[in-house]
Amino acid sequence: MPDLHVDIVFSGIWQMTSTVILSGRSCLVVDPGYFPRELADIAARIPKRATVEALFFTHSHWDHVVGHGIFPAVPVYTSSVLARSVAEGGELAVKGMARAREFDSQWYVERPWDYTWPKDLRGLDDGGWFNVGDLDIETFLIPGHAPDCMAIRAENHLLVGDYLSPCEIPFVDDLADYRRTLKRLLTLISPEIDTVTPGHGPVLSAADACRIASEDLRYLDRIARCAEREDSAAALNLDLPRAAEVAGMRDHHTDNCRKAGLVTAETLGG
Ligand SMILES: [Zn+2]
């Protein structure tokens, strides 16, 4: 087994995680973010003897992608879904960078590089892999939060992007996909997995990650059952699996109900 060192850095915004994986002199950085000074700190933490050979994006959302400019000319791996969107100028690609630009503008964040996607973006499929030095990294397509979400496994570490966060409820793009992904994650968190790193919040033990996955699945199953009965009122009244006291979380729950086809203008009007 290659000697592995995993360093996780938390952004001042939404406890977003950036992960630095060192294997010998080879280094992989996952979702470098967010503020330029935080990115400079991440770059400074990498030992001088090591080379950043690759970056990885877990998905297209702006906070996870705009930091790549701190590591110019480094190849970036991501899902083939996102790579295709970038190649075609698709909605995921356009939205990701537009929202980053908008956020930075709103908060006067000066970013010393442009809001463009990396030139060397390499798409991977479910069950794919790539190498960083001696290290094999496995890739798993896990849609639901976004269509282009991808998890990776490096030895006994699983990185899942915007799933299983202890800080928030699921943010759903596609309810059926999200429920399938949670079931998949429960199988991926095998006994060999020691740590599960979500895109936001503290690193989890395998047991805690499985507990959150089960809670989220129960929550989304309840929304799906309300959708079958077309019962928006019951869906809106559901208990949140966590973070109910966080500002805006109930609104995210309402959005999740909308993604299930509930709380339409019609139901509100009626
Ligand atoms: Zn996201």
Ligand 1 centroid, distance to 167 Cα (angstroms): 13
Per-residue pLDDT tens digits for 117-165: 999 999 999 999 999 999 999 999 999 999 999 999 999 999 999 999 9
Ligand 1 centroid, distance to 59 Cα (angstroms): 7
Burial classification of residue 258, based on how many CB atoms lie within 10 Å of its CB (0-12 exposed, 13-18 middle, 19 or more buried)? middle
Cα 267–chain centre separation: 32
Ligand 1 centroid, distance to 145 Cα (angstroms): 7
Taking a C-beta distance cutoff of 8 angstroms, is the pair 252, 168 a contact? yes
Q: What is the pLDDT of residue 1?
A: 64
Q: What is the pLDDT of residue 185?
A: 98
Ligand 1 centroid, distance to 10 Cα (angstroms): 15
Residues with CB under 5 A from ligand 1 (ion): 61, 162
Task: Give the residues of the chain that fall short of pLDDT 50.
Answer: 270
Per-residue pLDDT tens digits for 195-218: 999 999 999 999 999 999 999 999
Ligand 1 centroid, distance to 60 Cα (angstroms): 7
Ligand 1 centroid, distance to 148 Cα (angstroms): 10
pTM > 0.85: yes
Q: Which two tokens stand for residue 215?
A: 């809670």
3-state secondary structure 198-210: ECECCCEEHHHHH
Cα 142–chain centre separation: 10
Ligand 1 centroid, distance to 170 Cα (angstroms): 10
Sketch out the chain's domains with CATH numbers.
4-162 (3.60.15.10)
